[in-house]
Structure 1
Amino acid sequence: MLPALVFALSLPSAAMAEFKPMDDGAMSSVTGQAGVTIELETKVNMDRLTWTDEGSLNVNGLRLSGHNDTTMDNMKLTVDIAGQNEVLEHGFSEIARRADAGLLDPGSNADIADALATYDTGAGFGKQFNSGDLVIHLGATDYGDPTNLTDYLQAVDFELAVDSLTTSGTEGTTSLFSNVLLQGYVGPTDLVIRNGGTSTRTLANGNTVSGSELQLDTHFEITDGSLNWDAADLILIFNFAAVGIEGLQIHNRRGNDTLGHFGMASATAKLSKGTSAASGKEGLSVHDVEFRADIDMPVFRIGQASIGSVQFTDFAITDTTMMVYGH
């Protein structure tokens, strides 16, 4: 989930790195076109990101690149402002399009059959949107052989490295995580800003949220990863210290929760302005959060010694809502 979110948050700055000024003639050729396509190559480096309160939280030595510290390339962003009921590319709609064209066999693969059923709207392949919705879809410039599913799933590779995540205060510095290195592949990723105007809706917990919201949907796979888990809470469930993990893999190939994911982990979330039913505070609502994956940790060290391997199957975070505000 972390690399996908980092990548999504870095898209604006990464895309700007490839933008070039356009003269009036070039602009006139863009006017009236149905959406914009951006072919993107980038590499993001950040020496330090710091949040300061009474103390500081520091992300040190962050890098987002292709495998082995190469340029992250072969990415294509399509940007559209939808008309009413317009069908635009979303999720695995490209797989559905290939299946409909006879390039992939839905009879031989349950995921392909599910994609065809999910993304064939009858008016095109994708998802139907409302007037004024801003839809950004990340895919690949070149998917390789259109009959080869592996080419599609491994078209965009990434590498995320973080030297350390630390907290600093008057009593010194504490390392939470260090020597983080994750390699894998980015699947279809969608950022949608829903045009809900001034409408609101009420969540199951009573929180009121804006109908205009940012929606994130992403699929990704970690094929190899390592990190030192020095001292930190993870999603308020696990708290370990002096833990080392090697050979980390995050995917979705086991268990009873694989359909429609093509072996990739998935994450979704919606973000909007909201008001807490419990406190009455206004803030950023993060709701409809969902994460699904299988997690393999073949080398799990406590101190210097390995205690063996650890696996999670059908690991799911659901029914999760957060209201974030200052105090």
Structure 2
Amino acid sequence: MKGLKKVTLGAAIAAAPWLAYGTTPLDDAALSEVTGQAGVTIELDTRVTIDQIDYSQGPSTGSVLVNNIEIGGFGPLNDQITENLDIKIDIDLQENGDALLRFGPMGFNPVDLGVSVGSVGLSGSSGSATLISNFDMRMWVSGFDVLARVEDLQGNTGGSGSLAMDAFFAIENLDVDFDVAAVSLKGLRMGGPGSLEGTDSSSNGLIEEAAFPDTNSVRLALQPVNAQLRVGAAGSISASGPSETLRVQVDNFVSDIWMPTINVGSGDSSGAASIGSIAIDHLDISGTEMAIYGRQ
């Protein structure tokens, strides 16, 4: 990541794929009363901090606590990357009634998104426990489209509609401690199919760490993960579930993952705890469906 130049990332974002929605903007006369142009653009510069999120299922249950959440940019790595999250949002209405929200960078660079969470744990009358801690993730987001559709997940109109989401992203770095299992991951990276390919001198077919260095951020931006999701109200997957649930359908999600350092335990007398590295080639969860609903 260090030393990454504006020109190289500019080329990367220009080459990153985008889903081409066939948008038909309203005519100027219809929209001029609000904006004077065919569409609305919002530029956002922000940083979000949350002390704690407390989730419980009632007064007689314990809680899941998520502490010290921060959402912003990577940080002041150079004059192009700031601590804030800088994005541009284009809003366009289509002739059939659909609304397209396109989230993207303000300039040539992809959006640098940083997310950190201090800890995730349990708390109740019997005590508390920390399950996960020190979560820190840095991502490149070259595009994120949200299409609010008049059609529901079954293709019918006149109901509650649905959302179609199309994102292009790559994880530059992810560190996390799984306290519940005494396992920690350092330097995890995720890109699209083929982003792990490189010179591999090992005999077991796994990519060596040297083949996926920090200086290859341009390769991540050029080969991002393309996640395509549809979200809406529909019946449960099982026959015993309710007639209306929150349904999530994964139409496309294929990625390569590189975990250069996997630590287990507190280490030996020298402090070393790594058990090695793992490379995952072409992880495909396309076609996955999920139904979410409450119960008593």
2-structure distance, mates of 1:57, 1:74: 31
- 1:126 alignment partner in structure 2: none
How far has the Cα of 1:262 moved from its partner? 3.2
The equivalent position to 1:294 in structure 2, one of 250, 256, 278, is 256
2-structure distance, mates of 1:52, 1:74: 33
3-state SS of paired residue (1:248):
strand
Q: Which runs of 4+ in 1 moved over 4 A?
A: none
Cα deviation digits, residues 274-318 of structure 1 (max 9, x gap):
112512402211123543211111110011211011111111212
How far has the Cα of 1:224 moved from its partner? 1.7
Letter in 1 for 2:140: Y
The equivalent position to 2:56 in structure 1, one of 52, 63, 84, is 52
Cα deviation digits, residues 127-184 of structure 1 (max 9, x gap):
xxxx1111100112211xxxxxxxxxx4321211100111222322222211011112
- 2:34 alignment partner in structure 1: 30
Cα deviation digits, residues 208-244 of structure 1 (max 9, x gap):
xx7721122111111122110223xxxxxxxxx1111
Alignment of 1:94-243 (within 5 A): 131-143=96-108, 154-196=109-151, 201=154, 212-231=161-180, 241-243=181-183
Residue pair 2:46, 2:86 contacting (<8 A) in 1 also: no
Residue pair 1:200, 1:211 contacting (<8 A) in 2 also: no
- 2:285 alignment partner in structure 1: 317
1-structure distance, mates of 2:64, 2:85: 31
- 2:92 alignment partner in structure 1: 80
Residue pair 1:194, 1:211 contacting (<8 A) in 2 also: no
2-structure distance, mates of 1:228, 1:200: 38
- 2:211 alignment partner in structure 1: none
2-structure distance, mates of 1:135, 1:278: 34
3-state SS of paired residue (1:266):
strand
The equivalent position to 1:279 in structure 2, one of 236, 240, 243, is 240
Q: Name structure 2 gaps, 5 residues minimum.
A: 1-30, 77-81, 198-220, 267-272
Which is helix-richer, 1 or 2? Answer: 1
Percent identity, please. Answer: 33
What TM-score do the two structures reach when normalised by structure 2?
0.68
Cα deviation digits, residues 257-279 of structure 1 (max 9, x gap):
xxxx8311232221111112512
What TM-score do the two structures reach when normalised by structure 1?
0.62
CA RMSD of aligned residues (A): 2.3
2-structure distance, mates of 1:227, 1:164: 10
2-structure distance, mates of 1:278, 1:32: 51
3-state SS of paired residue (2:75):
helix
Farther off after superposition, 27-36 or 53-62: 27-36
Paired residues in the alignment total 221
- 1:249 alignment partner in structure 2: 189
How far has the Cα of 1:250 moved from its partner? 1.1
- 2:79 alignment partner in structure 1: none
The equivalent position to 1:268 in structure 2, one of 228, 234, 237, is 228
Residue pair 2:184, 2:264 contacting (<8 A) in 1 also: yes
Q: Name structure 1 gaps, 5 residues minimum.
A: 1-26, 84-130, 144-153, 203-209, 232-240, 256-260
309 and 280 in structure 1: CA distance in 2 versus 1, 3 angstrom threshold:
closer
3-state SS of paired residue (1:223):
strand
3-state SS of paired residue (2:285):
strand
35 and 220 in structure 1: CA distance in 2 versus 1, 3 angstrom threshold:
same
Letter in 1 for 2:106: T
288 and 221 in structure 1: CA distance in 2 versus 1, 3 angstrom threshold:
closer
